[in-house]
Structure 1
Amino acid sequence: MGVSVAHLDRSEISSYSIEIRKIIEDRSNSKLLILDMGGYFSECLGLIAKDLDGDLCGIIEDTENGLRRYQKLPSLSAPLYTVADSSLKRSENILVGLSMLEGVQKVIERNAINNPTATYGLIGFGRIGEEISHLLRRRKADFMVFDENPIKVIHARSLGYRVATKRNLLALSDIILSATGGQSLDDSNLRDIKNGAIIASITSSDDEFGFSEGTYRSFEPYGHLLDRMKSGNRQVFLINGGNAVNFAVDPNIGASISILHGEIIVALWLLATSNADDAGKINRVTQRDREEIASEWVEVFAAEAVDK
């Protein structure tokens, strides 16, 4: 069975673009399957399903933020599989958190900013935020945590992490790591941010921040992947325009991501062979399938590491 793959960037996805319509028109009666990373097809899913008239096999969503976007829809026009909350995703979360920390460090070093005793402020104690906290603890870094969700605050405290209000975190942190996917900072927070602080995001700027266009324009290029907003004697730095620092510095997060890719392939097969549940339901690969994927990964990659 031949398979054609079309790659679209975000500017071609959020609306029912010419590029999407062309894919539908040129498909030669083939069925279509969407692999999404961020929920960007959610805005035009209804139109796509309508024009495909039953030929949309379904959607696979990779991220928690994307899953939330699909969950906000009144109804789903096609079957959806998510791997966002998979038990196999933790290894990826660890590597994403690690790549964020290393990315920030590389930007700081590249721009000759020296602050060995920097205090980190982590906004967001979700799956990736928690892994970042573990990494910071192992590095013996000084850091504090904030989350809007009181349940996550209790969880952070139970693990022995220092929890702060958002205002205090912003006022005391030299490096602010934002990992919420939910517009954690906006213009009203700028006055609270410590002078000279560096802000970094784990995802796209429009998902992570609610800054106005005027605020973004006030940031001017300062150095490698670093912009600066200056007002009088105060200055605030923003890495990579507020977009994910990890992929800008080093997009390769190692073989462990293959575990999740294995689950995505299983979901692709289930959708392509019509083994998915009804269109209005969010589906997940079974735990048994996940265990088989993990077993295959261990056989290939763990054995490879031992051989080396």
Structure 2
Amino acid sequence: METFERARLDAYFSRIAARFQPDDRPASFLITHLLPERPAFVRGMAKVTDLRAVLPKPKSVHGEAQRQIEADGYTCDRLTRAVFSDADRAVQYVEARAPGRPVVLLDVGGYFAPALDRLCERFSGRVLGVVEDTENGHKRYAELDKLPCPVVSVARSPLKDPEDFLVGQSVVFSTEALMRSRADILHGRTALVIGFGKLGSSIARLLHAKGVRVTVYDIDPVRRTQALSQGFAVARDRAGGLEEAGVVLCATGSLSLRGEDFPRLRNGTYVATVTSSEDELELDGLPDVYERMQIGEHVTRYLTTGHYFYLLNGGNAVNFLHGASVGPFIFLVQAEIMTASTVLARGELVPGMHEISPADRAAIAATWLDYFNR
């Protein structure tokens, strides 16, 4: 990012912060993909909250971005699901960084969900709430028996639609780039897209535009009817779809392929995902059956007697290999996260799932257009 681009981005986030600035800044913990443009977002979050720690998603850490954030004076801590799956460790961690403070938790993927009850109950300060950025994280919070605090979800915001569409494009780009590294291409193969939400539907449309035969499978029958109405073939079940596919793109945000599904793959099938391997793929038992061999950069062959398939990027999101860029549209989502934090800072929301108001979204969009519609 060039100097003038950084200056424009900082000015944009400063204007968002000025519009939605809370009376009192709560402490915050920020889970984020640490991509090259992310330091500006971190500085923006620090304008509306007292940022106690940045927790980079471990599979998407850009070294220079982390160095910049640390040079700006912010703490980067190591993120694992284990830290926040254990309630005692979660409480100890937050106590160590923000004792007695009002706190906002900024999440990507439901990391805080397992310990949220205990955090709200035992933390010496007050958990004002959570801001969640992703669909799988949204589901993790929505599935809790009873939310102990407000959760403001950005996952289903209309401001996130451009990002979701462009992430789908980046997934297809990276999948084909890895295939081409083996002198292979998408064209001529049948692709199975598992999950027909925002990302899956974007992936399916782009594959179709590239001349790929696309089949869709989703556990939700409503989404299967949507896929059918848009002209895609729809698999009656996952097993049948897998047996016909030459490329499988997993876009559920939960579990797409279980251990017993892999033997159903055709020989030479490529498997790619839009999120982390622990969310999408059940890989733990495969080494007992399959021999793994790295046959190219970020391409692993799984081989057993009479059967083989290729796993891209170790089962993690393929688009992060090429920057996962969605251009300036990501700044719409980041501004909404900042705004959601200020909504929580007021302390007026009851426990449960929430979204920011249409008026706040319109103000964000108008500000974004001033800076990036050039």
TM-score, reference length from structure 2: 0.75
Cα-to-partner distance string for 1:142-195 (whole Å, 9 max, x where unaligned) = 221111211111111111112123233212211100101231211221222111
What SS class does the counterpart of residue 339 from structure 2 fall into? Answer: helix
Q: Which moved more, 1:157-166 or 1:88-97?
A: 157-166
What SS class does the counterpart of residue 118 from structure 2 fall into? Answer: helix
What SS class does the counterpart of residue 233 from structure 2 fall into? Answer: coil
**Runs (5+) with no aligned partner, structure 2:** 1-24, 26-48, 56-78
Q: Which moved more, 1:183-192 or 1:147-156?
A: 183-192
* One of 60, 66, 73 as aligned partner of 2:137: 66
Structure 2 residue 223 is the aligned partner of structure 1 residue 176: no
Could you tell me whether the CA contact under 8 Å between 2:91 and 2:123 is conserved in 1? no
Structure 2 residue 138 is the aligned partner of structure 1 residue 91: no
CA distance in 2, matches of 1:266, 1:6: 19
Q: Name the residue aligned to 1:142.
A: 213
The one-letter code sitting in structure 2 at the alignment partner of 1:5 is R
Q: Name the residue aligned to 1:79.
A: 150
User: Offset of 1:122 from its aligned partner?
Assistant: 0.7
CA distance in 2, matches of 1:92, 1:114: 25
The one-letter code sitting in structure 2 at the alignment partner of 1:7 is V
CA distance in 2, matches of 1:19, 1:278: 23
Q: Which moved more, 1:234-243 or 1:13-22?
A: 13-22
The one-letter code sitting in structure 2 at the alignment partner of 1:273 is R
Q: Name the residue aligned to 1:117.
A: 188
Could you tell me whether the CA contact under 8 Å between 2:99 and 2:124 is conserved in 1? no
CA distance in 2, matches of 1:220, 1:77: 46
Could you tell me whether the CA contact under 8 Å between 1:227 and 1:238 is conserved in 2? yes
User: Offset of 1:51 from its aligned partner?
Assistant: 2.4
Could you tell me whether the CA contact under 8 Å between 2:190 and 2:245 is conserved in 1? yes
Q: Name the residue aligned to 1:3.
A: 50
CA distance in 1, matches of 2:268, 2:367: 48
Cα pair distance change 1:115/1:83, threshold 3 Å:
closer
What SS class does the counterpart of residue 327 from structure 2 fall into? Answer: coil
What SS class does the counterpart of residue 198 from structure 1 fall into? Answer: strand
Cα pair distance change 1:79/1:235, threshold 3 Å:
same
What SS class does the counterpart of residue 113 from structure 1 fall into? Answer: coil
Structure 2 residue 282 is the aligned partner of structure 1 residue 235: no
Matches within 5 A, 1:245-284: 245-275=318-348, 277-279=349-351, 281-284=352-355
CA distance in 1, matches of 2:280, 2:285: 17
Q: Which moved more, 1:23-32 or 1:84-93?
A: 23-32
CA distance in 1, matches of 2:342, 2:226: 37
User: Offset of 1:115 from its aligned partner?
Assistant: 5.7
Q: Name the residue aligned to 1:220.
A: 293
Q: Name the residue aligned to 1:200.
A: 272
The one-letter code sitting in structure 1 at the alignment partner of 2:306 is N
What SS class does the counterpart of residue 200 from structure 1 fall into? Answer: strand
What SS class does the counterpart of residue 314 from structure 2 fall into? Answer: helix
What SS class does the counterpart of residue 84 from structure 1 fall into? Answer: coil
Q: Name the residue aligned to 1:45.
A: 116
What SS class does the counterpart of residue 112 from structure 1 fall into? Answer: coil
Q: Name the residue aligned to 2:369.
A: 298
CA distance in 1, matches of 2:140, 2:185: 39
Cα-to-partner distance string for 1:30-81 (whole Å, 9 max, x where unaligned) = 3221011111111111121122245111101111111111112121122110
User: Offset of 1:260 from its aligned partner?
Assistant: 1.0
Q: Name the residue aligned to 1:160.
A: 231
User: Offset of 1:294 from its aligned partner?
Assistant: 1.1
User: Offset of 1:273 from its aligned partner?
Assistant: 2.4
User: Percent sequence identity over matched residues?
Assistant: 30
Q: Name the residue aligned to 2:175.
A: 104
The one-letter code sitting in structure 2 at the alignment partner of 1:243 is N
User: Offset of 1:216 from its aligned partner?
Assistant: 4.9
Q: Name the residue aligned to 2:258.
A: 186
The one-letter code sitting in structure 1 at the alignment partner of 2:141 is Y
Cα-to-partner distance string for 1:169-227 (whole Å, 9 max, x where unaligned) = 2122111001012312112212221110010011111211234x221563332221111
Aligned residues: 300
Cα RMSD, aligned residues only: 2.0
Q: Name the residue aligned to 1:306.
A: none
Cα-to-partner distance string for 1:276-297 (whole Å, 9 max, x where unaligned) = x112x11110112111111111
User: Offset of 1:258 from its aligned partner?
Assistant: 0.7
CA distance in 1, matches of 2:101, 2:200: 41
**Runs (5+) with no aligned partner, structure 1:** 304-308
Q: Name the residue aligned to 1:24.
A: 95
Cα pair distance change 1:115/1:77, threshold 3 Å:
closer
The one-letter code sitting in structure 2 at the alignment partner of 1:235 is Y
CA distance in 2, matches of 1:47, 1:172: 46
User: Offset of 1:28 from its aligned partner?
Assistant: 4.6
